[in-house]
Amino acid sequence: MKGSVIALGHIDGREVAALMRDGMLHDLALEANGLAPGAILRGTVGRPVKGLGGVFVDLPAGERGFLKQPKGLAPGQRILVQVAGTAESGKATPLTLRLLFKSRYAIVTPGSPGLNISRSIRETELRSELEGLATAGMAGADEALGLILRSACDAAAPDEIADDIAQMRQLAEAVLADVQGAPELLLDAPGPHEQAWRDWGDVDEVDTSAEALDHSGALDQIEALAEPLVRLEGGASMVIEATRALIAVDVNTGNDTSPASGLKASLAAARDLPRQLRLRGLGGIVVVDLAPCPKRDRHVVEQTLGKSFRADPGEANLAGWTPLGNFELTRKRDRLPLAAWLKL
């Protein structure tokens, strides 16, 4: 199936959104139980943990979060925080003081003043029009409030953008004024269907039928993600397994016995690895045991990995090669692991 499709549906009664590109599952959003990345809460600063460089924060319903580098905060202080990622079982929810009020066209950024337009919008006349909308929409706002107009503005009507700016500004101002009181959820994270509308941009088709996940092929590909084996082009494969400490990736050449088989398998894995980690909801330390290839070809593999992860919306840091010839990287835990979600 050529083109891009957003399939909105449910699995076991829970919301699911799938982004398909040319018949391949490109992104996935799953309904979360409890706090999800993007939720904004009022919390109470707890005791500092000097060894970890942060503080625990008391959250609603007896939950606890962890905030890194809490400069100037005192125990008992009321603060506004945003869920920054997902935590492993038994660990505190990662939090940030950098709040983002995000919609399809506009992002209001408290503490980061300035009016900014997505770099992907290059047309001079359109940028000038958007600058006018941004200036008008933020006129009279607190100087600490900033605004980012997203790439989706490229195909939007001016009144839609202006309404979006106004709504996000109003929401931000209301939440920022609500600091006093006990720990409380002030703004929940978007559900999968809302997230698809907000973050996945314009597509060729949005399928909301009861069989959308099945018709698009997303359901079969989601089920395949429950298995560690990933088939790659040219008969190669990789196995992705999550342990308590790290994500282990083993790349294999398959039946190809040609001299270049190791390089071909490694390049195929490098191109698909960000998508696989994103769809499986895996993050943390990732150690990749690439297929055997000459050291002189390592720079080609590293360049391919770098290009692949730059195109990935998740935050990743490529650490490089180990003395044993493995490649190490870290990826932010920005969503619930699919394997855990399927077991709920």
Q: Give per-residue burial for 166-178: e unless 16+ CB within 10 Å, then b.
A: ebbbebbbebbee
Highest mean pLDDT among 32-36, 45-49, 325-329: 325-329
Q: Do 242 and 202 share a domain, yes or no? A: no
- CATH code at 166? 3.30.230
Beta bridge partners of residue 94, listed in sequence order: 66
- Please, what is the end-to-end C-alpha distance for the chain in angstroms? 31
Same domain, 234 and 182: no
Residues 92 and 107 in one domain: no
Mean pLDDT of the chain: 95
Looking at residue 317, what is its pLDDT? 97
Same domain, 202 and 180: no
The reported pLDDT for the residue numbered 90 is 79
Nearest to 275 by CA among 6, 13, 19: 19
What number is the average pLDDT over the span 109-134? 96
Please state, in angstroms and rounded to a whole number, the distance separating the CA atoms of residues 284 and 296.
Answer: 28
> 43-97 pLDDT, tens per residue?
999 988 877 789 999 999 999 999 998 888 999 999 999 999 998 877 899 999 9
Q: How many domains is the chain partitioned into structurally?
A: 4
pLDDT number for residue 208:
97
| Of 143, 170, 190, the domain-final residue | 190
CB 212 within 8 A of CB 196: no
pLDDT in tens, 281-305: 999 999 999 999 999 999 999 999 9
The answer to whether 1 touches 20, Cβ cutoff 8 Å, is yes
* Same domain (yes/no): 150, 213: no
For residues 202 and 270, membership in a common domain is answered with no
Q: Can you tell me whether residue 147 is helix, strand or coil?
A: strand
Secondary structure element (H or E) that encloses residue 215, with its range? helix 212-215
Q: What is the pLDDT of residue 279?
A: 97
CA–CA separation, 18 vs 186, rounded Å? 27
Q: Which of residues 344 and 244 earns the better pLDDT score?
A: 244
pLDDT for residue 52? 79
Do both 126 and 179 map to the same domain?
yes
Domain of residue 269: give its range. Answer: 226-343
Q: Reply yes or no on whether the pLDDT at 183 is more than 90.
A: yes
Q: Which of 324, 246, 338, 334 minimizes the C-alpha distance to 289? A: 324
- Domain ends where: 190, 211, 245? 190
Task: Identify whether residues 274 and 308 lie together within a single domain.
Answer: yes
Residue 108 near residue 168, CB atoms below 8 Å: yes
CATH of the domain at 326: 3.40.630
Same domain for 278 and 336, yes or no, is yes
Residue 33 has pLDDT above 90, yes or no: no
Q: Among 78, 96, 114, which residue terminates a domain?
A: 96
Distance from C-alpha of 179 to C-alpha of 205, rounded to nearest angstrom: 42
- CATH code assigned at 48: 2.40.50.140
66 vs 96: CA distance, rounded Å: 9
pLDDT of residue 71: 83
234 and 329 in a common domain: yes
Say whether both 57 and 165 belong to one domain: no
Query: Residue 62 and residue 178: Cα distance in Å, rounded?
Result: 20
Tell me what pLDDT residue 50 has: 79
β-strand pairing of 145-149 with 114-117: parallel
CB crowding 93-109: b at 16 or more within 10 Å, else e: bbbbbebbbbbbbbbbb
pLDDT band at 252 (very low <50, low <70, confident <90, very high): very high
Whether residue 179 is found in the same domain as residue 237:
no
Task: Take residue 175 and report the two structure tokens written for it.
Answer: 């939440």
Phi then psi for 82, rounded to 5 degrees? -125, 140
